[in-house]
Structure formats: structure tokens, C-alpha cells
């Protein structure tokens, strides 16, 4: 049995909590994630979805981070710590209407749980470089706040934001919003990789997680010469993007409620 799974089961942490309704999906996803080097970190967030605000209140607003968690590779058992933090974020999400407020123009309202989501990056962040960025920005902010030019931001907020800028891009993602395109894209991807990559099934389609860091020289040449342009060519509609190639991205947490459904994780096949 996997060490992470064994620890979770032994401590009785396998049951649903908050919006984490299928912990098994989450555990399998965490088992798939690469282990961290000491200077790297896992990053997860609780956010207000701008699209959720539009659906419920009629205005789009902007994605707003309610909480961000950074788990460095220097701590004992980072994946287990990550799992605990994800459970905490999912519990906070379930009680968002009691805990978090949002201001739009002159209106202040409490945030219902159907417009929040727990997001995670499969790519690790360089928390050491992010920490240096944070200290520099904080000291500059202290100097500027003295003269009243800016409001000083909290260190934990700064660190999380800077980690988001310091991801190591082990994975790229093909975000497919039109399910009819999935077979064609998978065929093209499998032709180069020799296998079907990991997938996260969302409400509208599928996220393909491509581990570009494991490419050999031949795969890398074929991939970067063909796939990004191929993906772009599939967007025949000027009104809507049906498929997108991304290097900077977050994924909804598999096993948690996201836009009314539960994202499902599938390991690589073949």
C-alpha cells in the first residue's frame, strides 16, 4: 500500500469533509504528483470563481483568492501535509457563507459555497526564490506605506502570490471544453507520447496533464513543433475558445465539488 494512503487510512481521514465528497479521487491525484525537492512547494487555493459570481449575481467581477496554502518540500511528508490542508480548504469552502464576504461596488454580501472552489497546481513552486521576492517586496512596501502610497500586504499573502509566479513547469495542460474534440486530440497526443496522459474530467470537458519534463529529445522536438499549433487550429469559432494550450494553470481539486460536479482524475494509460 502507498505510504500516503496508509497514513490517511490509519488516521481515519478517508471520509468526506466539506466540499471534499470523494477523497479517493484526491488521494489518487496526490499519489500522481511528483515528489518535491527541498526548495519546491505544493500550492493550493480557495478562490471565488468570477464565472460563479456572474451566474448567481449577474456580474462577473474577478477571481478572488480567499486562502492560499504553500507546503514546502523541506517539511516532513509534504504530500500528507498537503492532503490535510486540502481538507481544511474544503471545510472552509463549505462554510464560506459564514466566513467570507465580497464587495461589489457599494454592495457587501457573504459568499455562498456554490461560487467558491478549491484549486491546485500540479506544478511545484520554487518557494525559496518566492521567499526572496516576498522579503524584497515587503521591505519596499514598508517604505512606501510610511508615506501612505500603498497599503502594506501581509507576508503570507505575498508569499502565496509570489509562489504563483515561481512555478517550475513540469506539466503543460491542454484544456478541452468541447468533448467532441477529445478523441482527435488524444490520438495526436498518443502518437507522440506513446501513451494517454493523465486527465481531469471537469463539467465542460477534460484537462490533459502533459509531463513535458519527462520528454526525450525526439518527443520534445515533435511536441513543440506540432501540438501548440494543432490545438490552436481546432478553435474554428471566433466567439468561443474550445480548446487551449496552457503552461500557467490551476486545476480544480479532483474529488471536490466544482461548478456543481465532482472532477474525476484518471492516471496515464498505455
Domains of the chain: 3-121 (no CATH), 125-166 (no CATH), 171-249 (3.30.70)
Instruction: Tell me phi and psi for residue 96, to 5 degrees.
Output: -60, -35
pLDDT number for residue 135 = 85
Distance of CA 89 to the CA centre of its chain: 13
Q: What gap in Å lies between CA 43 and CA 69, rounded to an integer?
A: 6
pTM score, whole prediction = 0.90
pLDDT number for residue 201 = 96
* The three cell numbers locating residue 10: 490509519
CB 8 within 8 A of CB 14: yes
pLDDT number for residue 162 = 84
Q: Tell me whether strands 264-266 and 251-252 are parallel, antiparallel or unpaired.
A: unpaired
Nearest to 189 by CA among 202, 178, 176: 176
The continuous run of DSSP H or E covering 173 comes out as strand 171-176
pLDDT number for residue 42 = 96
Q: What gap in Å lies between CA 138 and CA 143, rounded to an integer?
A: 9
Q: What angle do CA 129, 135, 157 make, to 5 degrees?
A: 90
* The three cell numbers locating residue 72: 514546502
Nearest to 212 by CA among 268, 265, 260, 172: 172
Q: Which whole-number Å values give the CA distances from 106 to 58, 99, 101, 151, 230, in the listed order?
A: 15, 20, 13, 20, 45
Instruction: Tell me phi and psi for residue 167, to 5 degrees.
Output: -70, 140
Q: What gap in Å lies between CA 162 and CA 86, rounded to an integer?
A: 20
pLDDT, one tens digit for every residue, the chain (270 residues): 589 999 999 999 999 999 999 999 999 999 999 999 999 999 999 999 877 777 777 777 667 889 999 999 999 999 999 999 999 999 999 999 999 988 888 888 889 999 999 999 999 999 999 889 888 887 877 766 655 545 556 666 778 888 888 899 999 999 999 999 999 999 999 999 999 999 999 988 999 999 999 999 999 999 999 999 999 999 887 778 899 999 999 999 999 999 899 999 999 998
The continuous run of DSSP H or E covering 233 comes out as helix 217-233
Q: How many CB atoms lie within 10 A of CB 23?
A: 21
Q: What gap in Å lies between CA 174 and CA 155, rounded to an integer?
A: 33
CB 206 within 8 A of CB 244: no
C-alpha atoms less than 13 angstroms from C-alpha of 159 in its C-beta half-sphere: 17
Q: What gap in Å lies between CA 40 and CA 42, rounded to an integer?
A: 7
Query: Tell me, what DSSP letter sits at residue 115?
Result: G
Q: What gap in Å lies between CA 157 and CA 258, rounded to an integer?
A: 24
Q: What gap in Å lies between CA 21 and CA 37, rounded to an integer?
A: 30
Amino acid at each position: 500500500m502507498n505510504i500516503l494512503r496508509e497514513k490517511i487510512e490509519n488516521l481515519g481521514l478517508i471520509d468526506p469533509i466539506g466540499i471534499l465528497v470523494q477523497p479517493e479521487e484526491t488521494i489518487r491525484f496526490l499519489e500522481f504528483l511528483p515528489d518535491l525537492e527541498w526548495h519546491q512547494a505544493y500550492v493550493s487555493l480557495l478562490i471565488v470563481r468570477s464565472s460563479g459570481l456572474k451566474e448567481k449575481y449577474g456580474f462577473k467581477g474577478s477571481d478572488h483568492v480567499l486562502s492560499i496554502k504553500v507546503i514546502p518540500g523541506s517539511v516532513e511528508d509534504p504530500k500528507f501535509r498537503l492532503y490535510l490542508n486540502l481538507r481544511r480548504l474544503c471545510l472552509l469552502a463549505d462554510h464560506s457563507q459564514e466566513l467570507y464576504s465580497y464587495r461589489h461596488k457599494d454592495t457587501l454580501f457573504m459568499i455562498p459555497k456554490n461560487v467558491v472552489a478549491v484549486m491546485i497546481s500540479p506544478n511545484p513552486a520554487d518557494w525559496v526564490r518566492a521567499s526572496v521576492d516576498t522579503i524584497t517586496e515587503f521591505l519596499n512596501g514598508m517604505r512606501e506605506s510610511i508615506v501612505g502610497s500603498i497599503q502594506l500586504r501581509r507576508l503570507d499573502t505575498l508569499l502565496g502570490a509570489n509562489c504563483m509566479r515561481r512555478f517550475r513547469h513540469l506539466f503543460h495542460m491542454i484544456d478541452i471544453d468541447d468533448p467532441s474534440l477529445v478523441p482527435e486530440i488524444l490520438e495526436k497526443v498518443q502518437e507522440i507520447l506513446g501513451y494517454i496522459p493523465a486527465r481531469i474530467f471537469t463539467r465542460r470537458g477534460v484537462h490533459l496533464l502533459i509531463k513535458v519534463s519527462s520528454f526525450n529529445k525526439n518527443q520534445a522536438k515533435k511536441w513543440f513543433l506540432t501540438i501548440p499549433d494543432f490545438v490552436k487550429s481546432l478553435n474554428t469559432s471566433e466567439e468561443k475558445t474550445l480548446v487551449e494550450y496552457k503552461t500557467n494553470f490551476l486545476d480544480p481539486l479532483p474529488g471536490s465539488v466544482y461548478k456543481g460536479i465532482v472532477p474525476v482524475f484518471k492516471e496515464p494509460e498505455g
